[in-house]
Amino acid sequence: MRSPLRHFKSIAPCIVLSLAMLAGQSIAQTPILSSLPTLSSATVGRARATLVAEGLESPWAMAWLPPVAGSTMPRVLVTERAGRMRIVTMDGKVGEPLKGVPKVHAVNQGGLLDVVLSPQFASNRTLFFSYAEPSSEGARTVVARAELLDDGLQNVKVIFGQKDRVSGGHHFGSRIAIANDATLFITTGERYSEKARAQSLDSHLGKVIHITANGDIPADNPYAKTANGLKEIWSYGHRNMQGAAIHPVTGALWTHEHGPRGGDELNIPRAGKNYGWPVIGYGIDYSGAKLHDSTAKDGMEQPIHYWVPSIAPSGMAFYTATKFPEWKNSLFIGALAGQHLARLTLNGDRVVAEEKLLTELGQRIRDVRQGPDGFIYVLTDDRNGKLFRVAPN
């Protein structure tokens, strides 16, 4: 016999879904720049979010631009996965798509992905962006450099492309982090169906890539002077990395990666090291089947932090501003499936606490960056994607 409780359980997901839809409608109708209700909870962390702009279709990444001459208003360059870049100003105006963006493989997780500015952007107008590049033999992750004009890109040049072209639309990575010596770290994915290639040094799948701003090979790459592996490889044994940032004190690259069902990881990838996928890990297959014999093995590195269940991390930013002292030594990570902004408290290279912020938004967080004003900004992964300014509450 069906109990009342069981009946409630069967309709509960519908109630939750309806509430989520209502919440989505109320946010969508909120005028630009108006404050959302203060978000606070004793159990899930303390932050508030203010809507800055909306109407971005599946935005993926943002990079802060200097203000235009005669203005102090911050501007941010935003990518949309379908293959568009737009400039968004802090008064909520969303610009027209920039010209000159190459054609992208906008299928499932593929499309236009990350964007970062050259450290010399003020003088050379140069930026770097990653995307899934289409071809008749399958798609691959590439990184291009270009110069930004008022209405678009010029001199677009691919400076890295994966050797492997694979059909389908999963696990392209990718993020770009510029090291203190102006070289580029690029995170990739192993294309899901090709996970064994994450362990192959003759493949660019499931690797951290390290190149110069011209696409040349830095002298400290582990396979720069040997025939044992592709010269662009920095580290291997990764799954699908959608977060990368340079530590503000040590200068080391930090990355995170999606696990399967459980087993998302935070790593500090070192040159020539093996991060284990798909041999070791903390997750199981989506079907529930066992994936790994063990969580550790000689010759394979351990993550410095991992998530079970998965939060599906995307975007990452160290907090280096002085505006909010309570966020000092924090690492912010967006959560897609987890629908929150994770704030990890660090002590050196150790994670000592984790707080879930913005759970009340009920949004998939695709990217997180520190703004020039010392606030944290997030992009939501949605057909009506939004830019929020975030502050402690």
Q: Which residues bind Ca ion (CB under 5 A)?
A: 265, 275-276
- The CB-of-269 to Ca ion minimum distance in angstroms stands at 10
Q: Which is nearer to Ca ion, 84 or 273 (CB)?
A: 273
Between 144 and 279, whose beta carbon lies closer to Ca ion? Answer: 279
Q: Taking the complex as a whole, how short is the minimal distance between the CB of residue 301 and Ca ion, in angstroms?
A: 7
Shortest Cβ 276–Ca ion spacing (Å):
4
Shortest distance, position 333 Cβ to Ca ion, whole Å = 16
Q: What's the burial of 112, exposed, middle or buried (CB within 10 Å: 0-12/13-18/19+)?
A: buried
**Token pair belonging to 371:** 């703004």
CA distances from 110 to 101, 145, 205 (A): 15, 19, 14
- Which residues make Cβ contacts (< 8 Å) with residue 112, sequence separation at least 6? 60, 79, 80, 81, 82, 83, 84, 85, 101, 104, 106, 129, 131
Judge contact between 237 and 188, C-beta under 8 A. Answer: no
Shortest reach from residue 140's CB to Ca ion, in Å: 23
The residue among 305, 378, 385, 298 whose CA lies nearest residue 50 is 378
The nearer residue to Ca ion, 49 or 266, going by C-beta atoms, is 266
How far is the C-alpha of 261 from the C-alpha of 217, rounded, in Å? 35
Nearest approach in angstroms of CB 267 to Ca ion is 7
Measured between alpha carbons, how far is 56 from 32 in angstroms, rounded to an integer?
A: 13
Nearer to Ca ion, 75 or 197 (CB): 197
Sign of CA dihedral 42, 44, 45, 47: negative
For 318-343, b where at least 16 C-beta lie within 10 A, e where not — what string? bbeeeebeebeebbbbbbbebbbbbb
By beta-carbon proximity to Ca ion, the closer residue of 143 and 300 is 300
Residue type present at position 137: E
Closer CB to Ca ion, 237 or 385, in the complex: 237
User: What residues contact residue 258 under an 8 Å CB cut-off, 6+ apart?
Assistant: 171, 239, 240, 241, 242, 264, 310, 312, 313
Question: ∠ CA 235-317-148 to the nearest 5 degrees?
Answer: 90
**Residue of 171, 238, 256, 340 with catalytic role:** 171
| Residue nearest Ca ion (C-beta atom) | 276
171 a catalytic residue: yes
Q: Could you give the residue numbers annotated as active site? A: 171
